[in-house]
Chains A and B, each alone.
Chain A
Amino acid sequence: RKEVEQDPGPFNVPEGATVAFNCTYSNSASQSFFWYRQDCRKEPKLLMSVYSSGNEDGRFTAQLNRASQYISLLIRDSKLSDSATYLCVVILSGSNYKLTFGKGTLLTVNP
């Protein structure tokens, strides 16, 4: 089992659609979880940290299910500018700093 596994994508959706990304992680004792977005040939940018209680930032909602070792990201009312690769990132138990990246899911929002 891969340490961090994401939906392979790509996702192509129309503007205004709701899209959900899923991610699972292998190490049940992991403590820190993030969603980053990365535009083509640019750096990863932090989208959200993911907390146990779930968290929301505008159109973006992140959820964590520790029992299932599952993280999700929901984007509502998607915009053209949401087109990017979305990276699920975990700091696995046993490391207090090393980011383990999923392979990323490419989202294209179409007009």
Chain B
Amino acid sequence: DAMVIQNPRYQVTQFGKPVTLSCSQTLNHNVMYWYQQKSSQAPKLLFHYYDKDFNNEADTPDNFQSRRPNTSFCFLDIRSPGLGDAAMYLCATSRDRSGTSGRDTQYFGPGTRLTVL
């Protein structure tokens, strides 16, 4: 059973054309994360939501925004995609952020591969 679902799996957009990626989860986890992963690199955390509380990473460009309208859904908006934004975008969830009893274990969705033309 899919637990973290991402749509679409593949997205092609034009340079500068806004794009929205979607993530949903059936785990009822409190925390949802967005990562960017480029070829042969480790995933890079962009931001996360702890419940409704948005937490941006210091080096995430302003071009990247996120929305979490409810517990199950989280969106990544790229306002003006550049060629350098072509990557795999991974959504992940965890029950909590604490380090006890595995509550911080993160589960990844299958990713959306973004191509920018």
Q: How many residues of A contact B (CB 8 A)?
A: 20
Which residues of chain B in 69-117 are interfacial with respect to chain A, using CB atoms and an 8 Å cutoff? 88, 90, 94, 97-99, 102, 104-111, 113
Least CB distance, B86 to chain A, in whole angstroms? 13
Instruction: Note all chain B residues with C-beta closer than 8 A to A49.
Output: 102, 105
Least CB distance, A43 to chain B, in whole angstroms? 4
Q: How many residues of B contact A (CB 8 A)?
A: 23
Contact A99 B108 (CB under 8 A): no
Least CB distance, B112 to chain A, in whole angstroms? 10
Contact B110 A32 (CB under 8 A): no
Instruction: Note all chain B residues with C-beta closer than 8 A to A43.
Output: 88, 90, 108-111
Interface residue B19 (Cβ < 8 Å from any Cβ of A): no
The docked-state distance in angstroms from the alpha carbon of A59 to that of B50 is 35
Which residues of chain A in 89-103 are interfacial with respect to chain B, using CB atoms and an 8 Å cutoff? 91, 96-99, 101-103
Instruction: Note all chain A residues with C-beta closer than 8 A to B94.
Output: 97
The docked-state distance in angstroms from the alpha carbon of A32 to that of B108 is 17
Instruction: Note all chain A residues with C-beta closer than 8 A to B18.
Output: none
Contact A96-B98, Cβ < 8 Å, known A43-B110, A43-B111: yes
Which residues of chain A in 61-96 are interfacial with respect to chain B, using CB atoms and an 8 Å cutoff? 87, 91, 96
Contact B43 A101 (CB under 8 A): yes
Interface residue A26 (Cβ < 8 Å from any Cβ of B): no
Interface residue B21 (Cβ < 8 Å from any Cβ of A): no
The docked-state distance in angstroms from the alpha carbon of A91 to that of B100 is 12
What are 10 pairs between A and B in contact, CB < 8 Å?
A32-B105, A43-B111, A46-B106, A91-B104, A97-B50, A97-B94, A98-B45, A99-B45, A99-B106, A104-B42
16 more A-B residue pairs beyond the given contacts A87-B42, A97-B48, A101-B43, with a C-beta to C-beta distance below 8 A: A32-B104, A42-B110, A43-B90, A43-B110, A44-B43, A44-B90, A49-B105, A91-B104, A96-B97, A96-B98, A96-B99, A97-B97, A98-B45, A99-B106, A101-B42, A104-B42
